[in-house]
Amino acid sequence: MSWFVLILSGVLEAVWATALGRSAGFSRPLPTVVFAVGLVASMGGLAFAMRTLPVGTAYAVWVGIGAVLTVAVAVVTGSEALSLARGVCLLLVVAGVVGLKLSH
């Protein structure tokens, strides 16, 4: 259950990070609300997962999922370009997250 919650929390990290970027310094209400709700839910899920998972592993997996998905959203929406080098680096992050899960 902790792994499922941790993965969901990583997805929510991408949600709040994307909303933060779109909030224009908290001047746009809807992205600001999405940011706040996503942040609280993401942190709550991370805290829940850390009750049974090692802190270092849980945090690294959470950040990795959030980072990769945030970049993916930016690429899909056209706000960032994906080069071969960036793609390889993202795959390395994914490999690290999978490695942490498999070695737990």
How many Å apart are CA 95 and CA 27, to the nearest integer?
37
Average pLDDT over residues 81-99: 94
pLDDT at 13 (0 to 100): 97
Q: Taking the domains of the chain in order of start, what are their residue ranges?
A: 2-103
Q: DSSP code of 74?
A: H
The secondary element (H helix, E strand) that includes residue 36 is helix 29-49
pLDDT digits (tens, 9 = 90+) for 48-63: 999 999 999 999 999 9
pLDDT band at 100 (very low <50, low <70, confident <90, very high): confident
Instruction: Find the angle CA(41)-CA(17)-CA(2) to the nearest 5 degrees.
Output: 40
